[in-house]
Structure 1
Amino acid sequence: MSGVADHDQPLVGHATAGPGGVMTDEVGVITGDLTVETSPRPDGRADVRIQYTDADEWYVLTGSPTDIPTAGLPTLHEAVLTLVRTGGSRGLHD
C-alpha cells in the first residue's frame, strides 16, 4: 500500500536551506528561506516543488517525482524539509 491513501492533498512547509542549499532541475542550487510542497500523484509517487518563500516561481527539486514510503506522505515531506535544512547542494537521491 502506498502513502497516497493516507494523505491526498499537498503538504506545504517552510525551511531555511542549510549551507550549500538544495538542487533544482530548472535553476540549479537555491538557498535561503524556502517553501516546499510535496504532492501525491495517482501512481503512488510524489512531486516535490520548492520556491523562495513568497516568490511566484516554483522549481522541481532534483529527484522528483519520488516514491512515497509506506509510512506515508507526511514522512516523505518531513524528510524533504530535513534535506533542505541540511543543505549540501543535494537533491532527493544524492
Structure 2
Amino acid sequence: MVQTSWTTTGVFTGPGGVRTDEAGIVTGELTVHTTWNGSQADVGIQYSGTSEWFTLTGSPVPCPSQQASRNLHQEVVEAVRAGGGITALPQHDRL
C-alpha cells in the first residue's frame, strides 16, 4: 500500500476557525496533517503542542494521485488560515 503524508505546524486559524467531526469548530494555533493512501486523503487537525487529533469535516476525500493530495494539503492549510469554518475541499478543486 502506498502511503504519503504531509504536516504543517503553526497554522493560525482565520475568523470562524475550522470544522472538525469530533470537536466542532476549533480555532487558534493548529497542526494540519494529510495522509494519502493511494486513492483518498485523510486530513487531521490538532491543536499545536497537544496529542489529540480531530478529523477535518468532509475527510477523507477521493484523491487520485500523490500530487493531488499534496495540493489538497496546501489548500487546506490556506483555507484554515482564511477561517470561516472550512471543511475538506471537493476533489475538483485540486485537479
Shorter-chain TM band: 0.7 to 0.9
Percentage of pairs with the same residue: 41
* 1:69 positional shift: 5.5
Q: Which stretches of structure 1, 4 residues or longer, exceed 4 Å deviation after superposition?
A: none
Query: Per-residue displacement from partner, 1:6-40 (whole Å, max 9, x unpaired)?
Result: xx321000211111100000010000000010001
State the match for 1:20 in structure 2: 16
Q: Any unmatched runs of 5+ in structure 2? A: 91-95
1:68 positional shift: 2.0
User: 2: distance between equivalents of 1:16 and 1:54?
Assistant: 13
Unpaired runs of at least 5, structure 1: none
**CA contact 1:69–1:75 (8 Å) conserved in 2:** no
Q: TM-score, normalised by structure 2?
A: 0.82
> Bigger relative contact order, structure 1 or 2, given CA contacts below 8 A and separation 6+?
1
Taking the aligned partners of 2:31 and 2:64, their CA distance within structure 1 comes to: 21
Whether contact under 8 Å (2:76, 2:89) holds in the other structure is no
In the superposition, the TM-score normalised over structure 1's length comes to 0.83
In the other structure, the counterpart of 1:30 is 26
How many equivalent residue pairs? 88
1:65/1:79 Cα in 2 relative to 1: closer, same or farther (>3 Å)?
Answer: same
Q: In the alignment, which of 1, 6, 11 is matched to residue 11 of structure 1?
A: 6
